[in-house]
Structure 1
Amino acid sequence: MSDRLEIHPVNPQPRLIEQAAGRIRDGGLALCPTDAGYTLVWALEARDAEERVQRLRALDTKHPFTLLCSAMSEAGRLARLDNRTFQLFRSLTPGPCTFILPASPELPRRLKQTKRRTIGIRIPDFRVTQALIAAVREPLLSTTAALPDDEDVPSHDAEAMSERWLRHVDLMLDAGDCPPGPTSIIDASGKEPQVVRQGFAPLPL
């Protein structure tokens, strides 16, 4: 049965965060508010949850998912950041910006198995998301909460997302309406960073 946990967006209740983190650590799939709409999140080792996402969103097994991190130090363990990229990353995070970066040799074993040379990372600027990552005690895999026919469903609208997704996930952290998406995307895996997508908050570049 899916749970809908109504949580404060600025001062999230620790009891509810721990309840959600426990479900995720046990392999659950969650709908979580961020600074760029609601998103699907699951634990690194939760293969069943990931397969559910692939089926629901009609994605192939090579589709890249984004890692939600809590801090620069965590991102630095998962990706290689030269000085220029580090400065750019630090200037735009936390915030609604996803970076495509060269993968670090120290990737968790689960991610190494995908044999990807790059990895998507972002540090969300939203208290609920940050508290959840901290409680799970590791980065979370994530992807856009959009079914194949979801073009008109606003990802920041809590009620609309609940109606669309609650039956598909194990729990929803309902913080009310959150900032809209999508994130901006910067590909920093090559010689020069390239803006792949301008999100709802234009990049100051």
Structure 2
Amino acid sequence: MLLKIHPDNPEGRKIAQAVETLQGGGVIIYPTDTVYGIGCDIFNDKAVDRICKLRGLDPVKARLSFICKDISQVAEYAQQIDNTVFRLMKKHLPGPFTFVLNSNNQVPKMFKNRKRTIGVRVPDNNICQALVEALGRPILTASLKSDDEILEYFTDAEDIYEDFKNQVDLVIDGGIGRNQPSTVVDCTGDEPVVLREGAGVIEP
């Protein structure tokens, strides 16, 4: 199903419809402040497994990420965040960044890779924010890559729907997406390290 949601003022009944899909173990495709993502409720193992198979990921090795509504929700799933990392996150979130943190025991088993780390995002996107707030817990996020020779990522929801309508339960059309992923920052060491340059620019 293709569901058009207003990017600036997401309609409550449509958000509720998408959240109902997530609560039922569904897999959805949705816009972020960078590229379109594929996701599910992080506590539904079957849905997480579906996404890993769809993306060709090994859950044990993959660095899976999820979307939180704010830093306080991030803190529920990460080991103690020191002052330096907290200030860095506060300065850059919401925004086009993925912060890699040491995970705690609240993180579902499917996300516990060998390094015991998680990637967390707080996108500057009203649809994302509304989905996570209405669900009450984080949503898995994995970038939706394209086979196109020019565009690395899908940017048009209608094209996404044509390609994935038989593989996911819902595609949210929130307008044209970007063709650049988030900037990934590893905060598990003594100093934050940029692992991937993306849409966001880290400022000291």
Do the two structures share a fold, i.e. TM-score over 0.5?
yes
The CA deviation at 1:160 is 2.5
Matched, 1:104 2:104: yes
Q: Contact 2:157/2:171 (CA < 8 Å) preserved in 1?
A: no
Matching residue of 1:88: 88
Residue 55 of structure 1 aligns to a residue whose secondary structure is: helix
Cα 1:113–1:158, aligned 2, differ >3 Å: closer, same or farther?
closer
The CA deviation at 1:4 is 0.7
Matching residue of 1:124: 123
Q: Contact 2:45/2:110 (CA < 8 Å) preserved in 1?
A: no
Letter in 2 for 1:16: K
Cα 1:159–1:102, aligned 2, differ >3 Å: closer, same or farther?
same
Q: Which runs of 5+ in 2 are unaligned?
A: none
The CA deviation at 1:201 is 3.5
Matched, 1:183 2:182: yes
Q: Structure 1 length as normaliser, TM-score?
A: 0.89
Matching residue of 2:196: 197
Matching residue of 2:30: 32
The CA deviation at 1:12 is 0.6
* Alignment partners' CA distance in 1, 2:8 and 2:198: 23
* Alignment partners' CA distance in 1, 2:111 and 2:27: 22
Residue 176 of structure 1 aligns to a residue whose secondary structure is: coil
Q: How does 1:43-122 map to 2 (within 5 A)?
A: 43-62=41-60, 63-79=62-78, 80-105=80-105, 107-110=106-109, 116-122=115-121
The CA deviation at 1:167 is 2.3
Residue 119 of structure 1 aligns to a residue whose secondary structure is: strand
Q: Contact 2:27/2:169 (CA < 8 Å) preserved in 1?
A: yes
Residue 163 of structure 1 aligns to a residue whose secondary structure is: helix
| Matched length | 201
Q: Which runs of 5+ in 1 are unaligned?
A: none
Root-mean-square deviation (Å): 1.9
Cα 1:189–1:173, aligned 2, differ >3 Å: closer, same or farther?
same
Worse overlay, 74-83 or 184-193: 74-83
* Alignment partners' CA distance in 2, 1:64 and 1:57: 12
Cα 1:93–1:161, aligned 2, differ >3 Å: closer, same or farther?
same
